[in-house]
Amino acid sequence: MDTKFSVAVHVLILVSESPHPMTSDQMGESVGTNASYIRKILALLKKAGIVDGHRGISGYSLLIAPDQLTLLRIYRAVTEEEQTHILDIHQNPSDLCMVGRHIRPVLTELFAQVEDSFARSLASQTLADCMDAIRKRM
C-alpha cells in the first residue's frame, strides 16, 4: 500500500507547527524515511498549491490554513487523481464462469460506494483536526 498520503499529512503538520523552517532532512528523520522521498511529496503538495518552498531556501510554508485544508485535498494532491480511487478489480475474470461473468459490475458498484464514503470522510476532516488529535494524545 502506498504511504504518500500519511507522509504528506505528517510533513504538513511539521511545517505548520514548527517555529522554524524545517529541512527535508529533518522531516525525513521525523517520518522515518529519506529526504529525497520527502522532497517528492513536497513537490506534489507544491504543485497542488498547498505548500510553498524555494530551491536554495531552507524550509516550506503552508499556503492554506490548517483548518481550511481538508484531508481529501491532501489525498488528491499526492495521488494526483481528481476522483478518489482506492480499490481495483482484477482484470480477466472468465465469462465462462457464473461468478466471473458478473463480478465486475457487482464490485464496481460496491467499490464506488466505498470510495464515495471514503472521500466524504476525508472531506469532513482537516489538517487542524489531525493536529488537535495529536495534541490530545500528548
pLDDT tens-digit readout, 92-130: 999 999 999 999 999 999 999 999 999 999 999 999 999
Three cell numbers, residue 38: 520527502
> Distance (Å, rounded) from C-alpha 45 to C-alpha 76?
10
Task: Identify which of 72, 45, 44, 80 has the alpha carbon closest to the alpha carbon of residue 61.
Answer: 45
Report the pLDDT value the prediction gives residue 22, as an integer from 0 to 100. Answer: 86
Mean pLDDT in the chain?
Answer: 92
Looking at the chain, the whole-number percentage of residues with pLDDT higher than 90 is 78
For the chain, which residues score pLDDT lower than 70? 1, 54-57
